[in-house]
Structure 1
């Protein structure tokens, strides 16, 4: 089969402008939907007693609401025309789903780090999620309209410029491209940005399995167990469980028997050397862990294992549900949701966890498995000044361009579509402000539903008061 020439591919990218003008991206569309009903839909099948905590975390601010309501923006994006430049996308690329972590070679890199919604979709859906998050976050931090506008323009122009660069790169060059903290420090434009990167590297170095062992675990006789800290952390079959007695998981009291078939299936999705490495570890304990905002109530477990020296390994076993992207953009998808997450993550990330795999768990639920913490680091953007925020927005644009270029092989087409000017970035800036307005309206509707009893919202503190540890 003859490969298309570069000129043909550039022409294909420019041709996408004919049905999707770059200026058209400023439109959010005519939104006729009830955000509360969409959020209720996305709560179906979760652990029932944790759904109020999900709503409680979402109710903190328009920004936390935005983080927890990916289904709403995916629905809205499905209502407006798209470029037709389809590829694996993150699906939830808001600014808090980027972060630092260690590669298998122990380099610290900055990359996308959440792939629960990964699916085939138009490339601009990821960018629209990112730019909307920048404006919603800027308003939450009470920054001026000018600052918020600069953040969006910075992220999108960086995406454009990096995509131009990647359109001239070979396939292997893209595959090996990594945005390391060392590169970030070298390219940082201000001393404060360099200092922030260095502090991040120092902090990440201390975020290891052994540091978690000290914080989370204790010996009870010869047994090493993870301490309950409800509602965020509890044993499924313990006194602090938030499972209903009729739940199929609760009925089986032996967690090792419950997970044994699932673990064997998971091992088969790993390379032989990773299976051999895991054979040196013995399972010690299993707890339920409540994570994030949008994931609250989905089944997420943490398994503690130790090797012959007592050194720990924490694996996170996280439920994978249908991607919100695939609900509203029809494209081929894998039958196993855990496999979808793993394959998407491996494509989009520069380097993925050595223990990343998938399996089907009890009651036919789909899961993916990875290390819980391996020098992982997320930014506390509320402590950033304007200069650091600009640097962070620039990094996010760079990371998204690298991920899209690697996963799709369509850097030439995307670069040709966007062009060299600011038209696309200006349209996305208008979109970001218009969609942030919509998020605030949806947040008000959500709060009203919480106040009138249509939704029950509880804070972590409220729920923690139900327990005595």
Structure 2
């Protein structure tokens, strides 16, 4: 075994990183002399062709939704900026909407990162920059002004700095056991309204179970549960409402079921024996294609409905894992299987992960990972927040990101030493985030022009649903 670095060595490494990249250098927005439309088209390659217009339609709603779906642009731009040289597992898409509540295996409700499609080894500051920029763009989206945007970024970065400093005093096991619970969020909320919102989230989460969604998504026919087609959001791969196309090899029901049978057993091999035993007590009732998110639209995503002997449901999501945008622009060792990358990264960064989290290879050699579709999962409706609540949300997201980085990378001491106790790093990220917001507007305008000129096709959910109306 390699010798462990001392705490003094770790602090020295953080200080030395300032020589490589001064904190003030994080003001730079990066390589923005590129065609955003070309990069988006590149990221759409290999997706379901009929769903790419829906991806663009969801991105076209506002600069805020555009930023959510264009992680590739920020990764490209950041690759042209100096980095600290301190690398670790990072989320890769720490946008403010990629945080939320869910239940641990012990049924405790926690708040954590919940999207790991872009997880990779990379510079830790790329995560905090994406989070900070997302708050600046959200403030613009909500009409709150430049001053509020600057204040929000300061809250994000200094809250992250302070939490990292706290975690720099924790042992390895203390970091591994650390969880940000909803009860803890109530205790730290600074306003009665903030506490009310957290309690409301807990109540909402309690009702978001597999049983609650069964009657909404499926119908029982001849003793078997079948999911209802609701295109473009949900449809059967080989059914009359399928958008996959004849070229996908999914048109033949027997063919894709046979391939999924093999994939299922490969997935089971990635689980612990007790989880395999648990799944053996369910039988598969139905499988359907589900369109999710903004940036993920067009990637292959299936929902599997399973039922146990008591007639109780379990919904598993089978989601395609594509190459991380971080890995495309930062050279670091990988695992070779994109589904495994997502699973390993998620387990490292999250405080507690889904008991059914695993990976497999599916039809057309696509890489997938599996998890529960719904397990007391809730997210914030930030459009309903006032400035005070948005600041509170900024603090808790920064707290989550600091905990994730401290646990996954084991480099809280280095990060605390690098950032220091002052505002230099936060001030640099305020400048960066405002510049990123301005660049996002330019990219959004170029994107809309491409949609209006016919270079890109953008369609809304309503437009596509009308295609199936009788």
TM-score (ref. length: structure 2): 0.99
Name 2:114's counterpart in structure 1.
Answer: 113
The match for 1:40 is 41
User: By how many angstroms is 1:255 displaced?
Assistant: 4.5
Deviations 1:69-115 (A, max 9, x none): 01010000111111111000000000000000000000000000000
Could you say what secondary structure the match of 1:219 adopts? Answer: strand
Which residue pairs with 2:166 in the alignment? Answer: 165
Match of 1:82 in 2: 83
What is the Cα deviation at residue 2 of structure 1? 3.2
Q: What secondary structure sits across from 2:122 in the alignment?
A: strand
Deviation at 1:315, TM superposition (A): 0.2
**CA distances 1:196-219 after superposition (whole Å, capped 9, x unpaired):** 000000000000000010211101
Q: Structure 1 pair 176/3, CA: closer, same or farther in 2 (3 Å)?
A: same
How far, CA to CA, are the matches of 1:147 and 1:203 in structure 2?
29
For the pair 1:463 / 2:464, whether they are aligned, the reply is yes
**2 CA distance for matches of 1:110 and 1:453?**
42
Q: Provide the residue aligned with 2:275 in structure 1.
A: 274
- Cα distance in 2 for partners of 1:430, 1:454 equals 33
Cα deviation for residue 150 of structure 1 reads 1.3
Secondary structure, in 3 states, of the residue corresponding to 1:394?
helix
TM-fit CA distance, 1:29: 2.8
Aligned residues: 469
CA drift at 1:248: 1.8
Partner of 1:303: 304
C-alpha displacement at 1:363, in angstroms? 1.0
Q: Which residue of 2 aligns with 1:384?
A: 385
Deviations 1:50-83 (A, max 9, x none): 0000000000000111000010100001111111
Structure 2 unmatched runs, 5+? none
Q: Report the counterpart of residue 250 of structure 2 in structure 1.
A: 249
Partner residue, 2:148: 147
Asked if the contact 1:91–1:125 (Cα under 8 Å) also holds between the matched residues in 2, the reply is yes
Deviation at 1:154, TM superposition (A): 0.7
Q: What secondary structure, in the 3-state scheme, does the structure 2 residue paired with 1:318 have?
A: strand
Task: Map 1:183-194 onto structure 2 (within 5 A).
Answer: 183-194=184-195
Tell me how far 1:33 sits from its aligned partner.
Answer: 0.6
Distance 2:209 2:359 in 1: 23
C-alpha offsets along residues 106-144 of structure 1, whole Å, 9 cap, x if unaligned? Answer: 000000000000000000000111111111111011002
Is residue 320–residue 368 contact of structure 1 (8 Å, CA) maintained in 2? yes
> Any conservation in 1 of the 2:36–2:443 contact (CA below 8 Å)?
yes
Distance of aligned partners of 1:268 and 1:430 in 2 relative to their CA distance in 1, 3 Å threshold: same
Alignment partners' CA distance in 2, 1:333 and 1:252: 34
Say yes or no: does 1:99 pair with 2:97.
Answer: no
1:300·1:317 contact (CA, 8 Å) conserved in 2?
yes
Q: How many Å separate the matches in 1 of 2:419 and 2:253?
A: 55
CA pair 246-3 structure 1, distance change in 2 beyond 3 A: closer
Specify the alignment match of 1:17 in structure 2: 18
Distance (whole Å) between structure 1 residues aligned to residue 352 and residue 436 of structure 2: 32
- Residues in 2 aligned to 1:74 and 1:285: alpha-carbon distance in whole angstroms: 38
Counterparts in 2 of 1:16-415, with a 5 A limit? 16-253=17-254, 255-415=256-416
Contact 1:252–1:258 (Cα < 8 Å) also in 2? no
CA contact (8 A) 2:249 2:256 kept: no
The CA distance in 1 between the partners of 2:430 and 2:313, in whole Å, is 46
Report the CA distance between 1:452 and its aligned residue: 0.5
Q: Distance in 1 between matches of 2:245 and 2:347?
A: 35
Residues in 2 aligned to 1:407 and 1:104: alpha-carbon distance in whole angstroms: 20
Q: Distance in 1 between matches of 2:201 and 2:252?
A: 44
Displacement of 1:254 in angstroms is 5.3
Cα RMSD (Å): 0.9
CA distance in 2, matches of 1:288, 1:3: 47
Deviation at 1:357, TM superposition (A): 0.1
Do 2:31 and 2:79's aligned partners in 1 also have CA atoms closer than 8 Å?
no
Q: What is the Cα deviation at residue 444 of structure 1?
A: 0.3
Report if aligned partners of 1:258, 1:362 keep a CA contact under 8 Å in 2: yes
TM-score, normalised by the number of residues in structure 1: 0.99
1:145 deviates by: 1.6
**Partners of 2:5 and 2:119 in 1: CA distance:** 27
Greater displacement, 110-119 / 237-246: 237-246
Contact (CA 8 Å) 2:360, 2:367: kept in 1 or not? Answer: yes
Shift of 1:378: 0.5
2-structure distance, mates of 1:299, 1:29: 32
- Equivalent-residue separation in structure 1 for 2:453 and 2:323 (angstroms): 30
Give the Cα–Cα distance (whole angstroms) in 2 for the partners of residues 144 and 247 of structure 1.
47
Task: Please identify, of 314-323 and 250-259, the stretch whose mean Cα deviation from structure 2 is larger.
Answer: 250-259
> Matched residues in 1 for 2:248 and 2:180: separation?
44
